């Protein structure tokens, strides 16, 4: 029975990555690379925090790149960050948005079903392996970095809504 939650979390991670890449991949072919989100965030965090790698206390946008998974309320939570774009799957909620530099690294999301549990999140800590996000609605997620090469293959396709 322990394999089922892990399988669900990994399947959700794959879904989030696909959503993030599909929704965000074709807007600007060269435009995304010019104003690199990571470099603007590094400029804001370097003078004050001195943690360019986001290893202690704060974080920078570049350090969030990748896929993060965990559980909340008994269900899987998957967060994927690619080129400053964010996709999140938490239970039945699918949300997308951006990494924002507001004096600290924030995640600004909009959920497709109108849910507001995870719409504005503050990165509390990121050591490269564990990520803690406090959401404005009071939820806190502790997520672990996931290696996408370890995801199972041959997963069933998600039916269209």
Q: How much is the pLDDT for 20?
A: 45
Stronger pLDDT, 5 or 42, i.e. the higher one: 5
Q: How much is the pLDDT for 14?
A: 52
pLDDT in tens, 98-151: 999 888 999 999 999 999 999 999 999 999 999 999 999 999 999 999 987 766
Q: Which fold has domain 3-25+51-148?
A: Lipocalin (2.40.128)
Mean pLDDT computed over 17-39: 42
Distance CA 61, CA 44 (A): 10
pTM passes above 0.85: no
- Longest distance between any two alpha carbons in the chain, whole Å: 48
Q: Is the dihedral of CA 49, 52, 56, 58 positive or negative?
A: positive
Task: Please classify residue 48 by burial: count the beta carbons closer than 10 Å to its beta carbon, then call 0-12 exposed, 13-18 middle and 19+ buried.
Answer: exposed
Beta strands in the chain (DSSP E): 66-72, 75-82, 85-90, 93-101, 105-111, 120-126, 130-135, 140-146
pLDDT in tens, 41-91: 333 333 333 333 333 344 678 889 999 999 998 899 999 999 999 999 998
Distance CA 6, CA 160 (A): 23
Read off the DSSP letter of residue 19.
Answer: H
Task: Please classify residue 84 by burial: count the beta carbons closer than 10 Å to its beta carbon, then call 0-12 exposed, 13-18 middle and 19+ buried.
Answer: buried
Would you call 50 helix, strand, or coil by DSSP? coil
Residue boundaries of the structural domains of the chain:
3-25+51-148
Instruction: Please enumerate in sequence order all residues whose Cβ is within 8 A of that of 78, keeping only pairs 6 or more positions apart, or say none.
Output: 9, 12, 13, 15, 16, 67, 68, 69, 88, 89, 90, 146
């Amino acid at each position: 029975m322990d394999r089922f939650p892990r399988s669900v979390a990994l399947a959700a991670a794959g879904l989030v990555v696909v959503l993030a890449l599909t929704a965000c991949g074709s807007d600007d072919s060269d435009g995304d690379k010019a104003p690199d989100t990571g470099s603007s965030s590094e400029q804001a965090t370097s003078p004050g925090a001195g943690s360019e790698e986001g290893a202690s206390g704060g974080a920078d946008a570049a350090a969030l790149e990748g896929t993060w998974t965990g559980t909340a309320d008994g269900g899987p939570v998957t967060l994927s960050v690619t080129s400053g774009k964010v996709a999140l799957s938490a239970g039945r909620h699918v949300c997308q948005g951006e990494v924002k530099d507001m004096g600290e690294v924030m995640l600004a999301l909009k959920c497709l079903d109108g849910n507001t549990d995870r719409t504005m999140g503050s990165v509390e800590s990121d050591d490269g392996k564990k990520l803690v996000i406090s959401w404005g609605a009071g939820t806190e997620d502790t997520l672990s970095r996931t290696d996408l090469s370890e995801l199972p293959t041959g997963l069933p396709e998600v039916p269209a809504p």
